Amino acid sequence: MSDATIRFSPIVAGLWRLADWQLDVAARVRWIEQVLELGITTFDHADIYGDYRCEALFGQALAAAPQLRQRMQLVTKCGIRLTGSEHPYRLNHYDTTAAYVRGQVEASLRKLHTEQLDVVLLHRPDYLMDAQALAETCRELTAEGKVAHWGVSNHRPSQLALLHDALPLVAHQVELSPLAMGALDDGTLDQCQQMRLAPMIWSPLAGGRLFTGEDAQALRVRAELESQAHAKGVSVSAVVYAWLLRHPSRPHPITGSGRIERLREAVEARHVAMPNEDWYAIWQASTGHPVP
């Protein structure tokens, strides 16, 4: 972590599928309570999730039970203009201009029924980003008490460094799983460790491909994961989360399920042993070759 005061829970609850869970307000409140009871206090959103609906669905729960807000960290993202029925853009594109970022932050505040967002991430690198102008907008929003901290998502090390030079960042959300290991080799996690940024890991279970994929890589990895799960007496999911948590950059995996038992597996993975040999066995299964 940076020297900022924000602290994320080791496991993060992801809300991008919230609209698909078909929960009424009372059920959403109970789900949040159960998640908090597991020790998961960080909730990950984005303005575009659920065709721009998920923040409002979560916010309705907070409006019904406002005491829950003080027990959590709210993370959201902005910077993507996603076309849809209420957003008839000619095409999806990125936008980190002052007016758009400010507008989306203020919309997120309204939808989430909160006076301040704990962290806002720039969702994707914008090729037209003016780092100094964006940083000035972010500083203004922080000075106004609307955003406590800033971070990025899916940025290359050079892109993150450009913005970090103008605006201190606290987190970087990236893809990482035993089937998508690019962040291990492209400098992303090295940079997080060097800068003490919190890596937040999206798609840790490879979108379910770890369980259903029939390609050679998925089959190799699944066989190794099942072997380790049997030996350790835990679920395959717990082995995957333990593999992620083992990295010295101290990643925070983001769950994508609304099922409490799935979140419990992620939390329990913190206590699953993952010695170097086991970690590299999964790495080898993914790459298809031994270490050089």
Residues linked to residue 173 through DSSP beta bridges, in sequence order: 153, 200
- Tens-digit pLDDT profile for residues 39-53: 999 999 999 999 999
Q: Supply the pLDDT for residue 13.
A: 98
**pLDDT digit string (tens) for 193-232?**
999 999 999 999 999 999 999 999 999 999 999 999 999 9
The encoded tokens of residue 134 equal: 């964006």
Reply yes or no on whether the pLDDT at 3 is more than 90. no
- Here the tokens at position 127 are 């090729």
Superfamily of domain 12-169: NADP-dependent oxidoreductase domain (3.20.20.100)
Question: Active site residue: 49, 100, 127, 280, which one?
Answer: 49
Q: Please check whether residue 105 is in contact with residue 114, taking contact to mean a CB–CB distance below 8 angstroms.
A: no
Q: How far is CA 130 from the centre of its chain?
A: 24
pLDDT in tens, 58-71: 999 999 999 999 99
Section 149-170 average pLDDT: 97
Domain boundaries, the chain: 12-169
Q: Tokens at residue 196, please? A: 């003490």
249-275 CB burial, b ≥16 within 10 A, e <16: bbbbbbbbbbeeeebbbbbbbeebebe
Q: What's the pLDDT band for 86 if we cut at 50, 70, 90?
A: confident
Question: pTM (2 decimals)?
Answer: 0.96
The 10s digit of each residue's pLDDT in 90-100 is 999 999 999 99
Catalytic annotation present for 89: no
pLDDT tens digit sequence for 247-285:
999 999 999 999 999 999 999 999 999 999 999 999 999
- What percent of the chain has pLDDT above 70? 99
Q: What is the pLDDT of residue 85?
A: 84
